[in-house]
Amino acid sequence: MELRERLGMRLKEAMRDKDARRVGTLRLINAAIKDQDIALRAEGRTVGDAEATAIMAKMVKQRQESARAYEEGGRLELAEAELEEIGIIEEFLPKRLSDAEVEAAVAAAISETGATSVRDMGKVMGVLKAKYPGQIDFGAVGPLVKNRLN
């Protein structure tokens, strides 16, 4: 089942259940995807599942940063709301890779690109982003790739 169809079904369920937080979050996801659809209209295409996954991964990252800021500011109820939204968004993202799987993916990307130095880091990261959208925390994997290429 396509990601958009799953989102639509879950939105209808949330509306039936009168789950305001879930309805709001799912509507935000749909709005972000539609915004990107509008931006891609000039190219004559729409957002695919991989792009939608990247959009949602970005939404999760934004909410993690917001939750951290709210916690530092002592606004725990707002931080909790952000964390709830993260949980809802992550239901539609692919499963995160374990540390061992990330190590294996990095090793495979390095061998696939033939990377030998830090200068090739962009190529390796490009391969990882293409193959594992939403499954790897690219902020954390960057230093790992850098260490492997040194």
Query: Does residue 59 sit in the same domain as residue 115?
Result: no
CATH value at residue 13: 1.10.1510.10
Residue with tokens 């169809």: 5
CATH value at residue 124: 1.10.10.410
The rounded radius of gyration (Å) of the Cα atoms in the chain is 18
How many domains does the chain fold into?
A: 2
Instruction: Report the chain's terminal Cα–Cα distance, integer Å.
Output: 42
Query: Does residue 82 sit in the same domain as residue 8?
Result: yes
The CA–CA distances, whole Å, from 93 to 34, 64, 124 equal 18, 15, 22
Query: Does residue 138 sit in the same domain as residue 105?
Result: yes
Give the tens place of pLDDT for each residue, 45-101: 988 888 888 899 889 989 999 999 999 999 999 999 999 999 999 999 888 888 889
Distance (Å, whole) CA 43 – CA 75: 43
Query: Does residue 20 sit in the same domain as residue 80?
Result: yes
Query: Does residue 64 sit in the same domain as residue 27?
Result: yes
Give the tens place of pLDDT for each residue, 117-128: 889 888 988 888
The CA–CA distances, whole Å, from 140 to 28, 37, 71 equal 26, 29, 21
- On whether the pTM is more than 0.75, the answer is no
